[in-house]
Amino acid sequence: MPSKPRTSARLVLNGRRCQCPTCKEYFSTVNNFEKHRVGYHAFGKVCVDPESVGMAIATSGRSTYWITPSKDGKFYDSE
């Protein structure tokens, strides 16, 4: 993982959007957040590079966050 987050949110984190408390990256959904964490809760989960699990950075206004592209390669802001 890069030492500095590659995303930034200038909007209120509500609904599905969230920020990882460990690596400080922003995600479009809780599901995307969970995809970037590996390991078992009891033994400690760690962050992996969101790009390595198929995510890409999307932009909305002045905010950027990780999103998973659909099967057709387009980006949708949904679960």
Give the span between the Cα atoms of 61 and 42, in whole angstroms: 38
**Among all chains, which residue has been given the structure tokens 């949708």?**
76
pLDDT tens per residue, range 22-49: 999 999 899 999 999 998 877 788 999 9
Residue of higher predicted confidence among 74 and 22: 22
pTM of the complete model: 0.78
Question: Both tokens of residue 56?
Answer: 């890409």
Q: Kindly list the strands in the beta sheet with 56-60, ordered across the sheet, starting from the edge strand earlier in the chain.
A: 18-19, 26-27, 63-67, 56-60
Cβ 67 vs Cβ 77: under 8 Å: yes
Q: Collect contacts of 34-40 with beta carbons under 8 A, ≥24 apart.
A: 35/68, 36/66
pLDDT in tens, 4-19: 788 887 766 777 888 9
| The pLDDT of residue 27 | 93
